[in-house]
Amino acid sequence: MNETTILQRIRLTVGRVSGLRLFRNNCGQAWMGRIIRRTADTITIKDPRPVQFGLNPGSADLIGWRTIMITPDMIGKSVAVFASIEVKTDNGRVKPEQQNWLEQVEKAGGLAVIARSPEQAAEFFKNH
């Protein structure tokens, strides 16, 4: 199974987890400018400039929050805890910048996991 299929299945599965809201985080670079010519498979732009999208290189495939209830000694309010899932195939390798992202999320008190199946993602959020 490829990563895109796993990611879509994870989205469907964790979408049913109460209090969990995750969004697709595509990262990359595109080009923008004034279009001067367009064909079926080519666009030519004038005054091109790069545009970065997504949070940053290494940020996870799915990001969002998990709503949790704060204990009574904290006035009983709900808060959103940052949540992050890096999706990989069974053989997929985690890049150093992706590992760093996951570690930084955890270090800051967020929830971060590498998931290779919908069941693995659901199990993580069942326990966190």
All domains of the chain in start order, with CATH: 3-25+60-126 (3.40.1350.10), 28-54 (no CATH)
The answer to whether 56 touches 27, Cβ cutoff 8 Å, is yes
Digit-by-digit pLDDT tens for the chain (128 residues) are 899 999 999 999 999 999 999 999 999 999 999 999 999 999 999 999 999 998 888 999 999 999 987 777 777 777 899 999 999 999 999 999 999 999 999 999 999 999 999 999 999 998 88
* Structure-block tokens of residue 8: 């879509």
How far CA 93 is from CA of 61, 90, 99, 101, 109, in Å, comes to 14, 9, 10, 14, 24
pLDDT recorded at residue 68 = 84
DSSP conformation class of 54: S
- Distance between CA atoms of residues 52 and 55, nearest Å: 9
Quote the pLDDT of residue 121: 95
At residue 25, the pLDDT reads 95
pLDDT of residue 77: 77
Whether residue 124 contacts residue 115, with contact meaning beta carbons closer than 8 Å, is answered with yes
What pLDDT was estimated at residue 105? 96
Model pTM above 0.85: no
